[in-house]
Structure 1
Amino acid sequence: MTENTPGETVPGNARPTAPGWLEILAGGAAYAASFLLVAVLLPLVENVAVHGVVGLLVSGAMGLIAFAAAAAVRIRGLAAFGVRRAKPHHLLLAALLGLLAYLLGTVTAIVYMTVSGDMQNVQTSYQAAAAAGRWSLALVFVAGVTITPLGEEAFFRGVLANAVLARYRAWIAVLVSAAIFALAHGINPVLAAAFVVGVLAALLFRWSGSIWPGVVLHGVNNATALLVPLLAARAGV
């Protein structure tokens, strides 16, 4: 099966076969509006563990809302946004790269903290939620390992990276989309780790044409980031 280049049009079809600037603007506006709403309402959740679960849920929801806004601009199949079947070897590679992303992200976060002097742990609420009991841990995993990766990959790779890849050289598109993804996580130590995930997920999207390898990579990275501190704390490390 021959794939169309993002942004191309199919003969006899006036609509582009992949997202463009219109979809980026629509999705970006929806994401920004959701982000501002969450920034106002999330601090009202006082319980740290509940705050962590809700924070992960809304992270995924923001991406899904942005994706829905982008997809609604011009009607076409979801395959145009990379919602298509991935090959098994892409998914296996994604799982391995998820572990690599955690290791590289940890190193880059340490470098960031050393250089900037910013030692804040912005994932305290997520870690507290994971340590708050069996049900809380289950909710954290559903939110952080499934919903958040799905929402963020759908928008940042399926819309943003997809559209940018069609218009610029691959390395520019990968770096730019990863930088925007990282900035969406705030100016803090997570920024460096998010950039690593963004680069690897964008490369996977370019190679596979599907968002699912990125979802797997993202999920494995998040699962590792949740489990390692939890296991270390229980081991008394």
Structure 2
Amino acid sequence: MTHTWNPRPVTSRDLAALLYSALALVGAAVSVALLIVALTHVLDVSTPPWLGVLMAAAGYAAQFTVLAVLLRRRGWAFSDLGFHRLGTRGWHLVWQIPTSLLISLALTVLVAALTGLTPEDASTSNGEVLTSAVPWQLAFILVYLLLGPLIEEIAFRRLFMGFFDRKVGVLTSTILTSVLFGLVHIIPAVIVWCTLSGLCMALLTRWHKSLWGGFALHMVNNSLASAGLIMAMAAGA
């Protein structure tokens, strides 16, 4: 196979739309941060614990809106994004998801042992959000478990992978986009995990010929990460 699983080709202009949407994310997040800092400075109160959720929600909302508008102007329909029905083949996700997570975990532990990488502590902002009022817990879950995976799957498994499939071939494209997915997560130990899990997401997307495959794994991965953070915080309380 020398081309993407989705018939609509991804062009450089489509990637430009993704770039503009990423700039919108950064701009919205920075704007919210500056607004909150200004308000807290004027009111002389501490930074609210829900700032992280608000920044992420504003950023993702801005990115999704800009990306949707720009792709729509380029003639993209929802079906072009690749969220095709899984059908009976979708039941394979029942074993594919845990298998992918176990393999990613085992390889991450191996790489960490060989390189001396150690996981960084969870950020204070996320911890405070999870221990704050229920509405912010729900907002955190919505952003982290739904909006984040949705946009990232469209960006990496549809646009980037769809573009590179026709430039460098399926194998190189799969590896390249998985590495890019890992690198955007910045923290070394997390980069390794996200690269490996991103590779599994790419393979599930290709096998199912639908973004639902990678998106399902992405949501489960983030759910387990959130559960792990909550348990760690509870143990340290």
Aligned length: 224
Q: Is the 8 A contact 1:60 1:152 kept in 2?
A: no
- Hey, what does 1:74 align to over in structure 2? 74
Q: Is the 8 A contact 1:24 1:159 kept in 2?
A: yes
Higher helix share: 2
Q: Give the CA RMSD over aligned residues.
A: 3.5
Question: Compared with structure 1, are the counterparts of its residues 121 and 66 closer, same or farther at alpha carbon in structure 2 (3 Å cutoff)?
Answer: farther
TM-score norm. by structure 2 comes to 0.75
Residue aligned with 2:167, SS: coil
- Hey, what does 1:24 align to over in structure 2? 15
Question: Compared with structure 1, are the counterparts of its residues 119 and 222 closer, same or farther at alpha carbon in structure 2 (3 Å cutoff)?
Answer: closer
Matches within 5 A, 1:214-233: 214-233=214-233
Q: Is the 8 A contact 2:14 2:159 kept in 1?
A: yes
Matches within 5 A, 1:17-166: 17-31=8-22, 33-38=23-28, 40-41=30-31, 43-44=33-34, 45=36, 47=47, 49-58=49-58, 60-61=60-61, 64-65=64-65, 67-68=67-68, 71-72=71-72, 74-87=74-87, 88-93=90-95, 95-97=97-99, 99-100=101-102, 103-104=105-106, 107=109, 110=112, 114-115=116-117, 120-121=120-121, 123-166=123-166
* Higher Cα Rg, which structure: 2
Q: Please identify runs of 4+ aligned residues in structure 1 that moved more than 4 A.
A: 108-113
Q: Is the 8 A contact 2:29 2:59 kept in 1?
A: no
- Hey, what does 2:197 align to over in structure 1? 197
- Hey, what does 1:167 align to over in structure 2? 167
Q: Which deviates further from its counterpart, 182-191 or 58-67? A: 58-67
Write the letter of the residue equivalent to 2:8.
T
Write the letter of the residue equivalent to 1:167.
K
Offset at 1:192?
2.3
Offset at 1:178?
1.4
Q: Is the 8 A contact 2:182 2:198 kept in 1?
A: yes
Q: Is the 8 A contact 2:32 2:58 kept in 1?
A: no
Q: Deviations over 1:6-45 (max 9, x none)?
A: 499xxxxxxx7232332122212332x1243156335445
Q: Which runs of 5+ in 1 are unaligned?
A: 9-15
Q: Is the 8 A contact 1:122 1:190 kept in 2?
A: no
Q: Which runs of 5+ in 2 are unaligned?
A: 38-46
TM-score norm. by structure 1 comes to 0.75
Offset at 1:202?
1.2
Write the letter of the residue equivalent to 2:53.
V
Distance 1:164 1:19 in 2: 9
Q: Is the 8 A contact 2:33 2:55 kept in 1?
A: no
